């Protein structure tokens, strides 16, 4: 019997589930035993170094439920639990989006010194680059044109 390729077999339609309304995340605040932290370094093996809102450097462990679902990068703001039996280790609970970080700063939950420069944070947690010099863009396009002309001349020979 041929393999079901997703073109309309018995279980293909039951897998399609979606909603027209976008999901809205509820903003998580810290509780007792939790802290806000900024990721400073990725160590590997689901471990990261963070700088907490209190000014401490703590190694955090990313739980298995985040694996391949939540991507944590450098300079992200996360919520961690502080272990009572180990001061230098903690666990990651939640990763904040850029819009959520801005809301937390407005509510005075996070210090602006922890986040850094807010103008560089894009909605997708990426750095937004601005070009002040339009001449450099034009020069770059001329170089590309010149390289293409050279390639064409070499093909003709």
Residue 145 falls inside a structural domain? no
Q: What is the DSSP string of 80-95?
A: EEEPSS-SSEEEEEEE
pLDDT value of position 144: 44
In whole numbers, what is the pLDDT of the chain averaged over residues?
Answer: 77
Note the pTM of the prediction, 2 decimals: 0.64
Query: Domain for residue 60, yes or no?
Result: yes
Neighbours of 90 (CB within 10 A): 23
CB 111 within 8 A of CB 53: yes
What tens digit of pLDDT does each residue of 50-94 get? 999 888 999 999 999 999 999 999 999 999 999 999 988 999 999
Residues 157 and 149: their CA atoms lie apart, in Å, by 13
Low-confidence ranges of the chain (pLDDT < 50): 124-129, 136-138, 140-152, 154
Domain that holds residue 108: 28-116
pLDDT number for residue 52: 92
Indicate which CATH number applies to the domain containing 91.
Answer: 2.40.50.140
Please name the residue that has the structure tokens 């001061």: 87
What backbone torsions phi and psi does residue 77 show, to the nearest 5 degrees?
-100, 130
Residue 143: its pLDDT value, please? 46
């Amino acid at each position: 019997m041929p393999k079901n390729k997703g073109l309309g077999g018995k279980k293909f339609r039951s897998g399609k589930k979606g909603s027209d309304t976008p999901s809205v995340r509820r903003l998580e605040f810290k509780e007792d035993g939790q802290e806000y932290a900024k990721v400073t370094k990725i160590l590997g093996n689901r471990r990261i170094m963070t700088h907490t809102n209190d000014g401490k450097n703590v190694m955090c462990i990313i739980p298995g439920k985040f694996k391949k679902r939540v991507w944590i990068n450098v300079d992200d703001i996360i919520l961690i639990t502080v272990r009572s039996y180990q001061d230098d280790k903690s666990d990651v609970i939640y990763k904040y989006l850029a819009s959520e970080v801005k809301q937390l700063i407005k509510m005075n939950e996070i210090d602006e010194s922890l986040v850094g420069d807010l103008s560089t944070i894009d909605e997708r947690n990426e750095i937004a680059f601005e070009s002040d010099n339009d001449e450099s863009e034009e020069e770059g396009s001329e170089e590309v044109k010149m390289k293409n002309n050279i390639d064409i001349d070499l093909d003709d020979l």
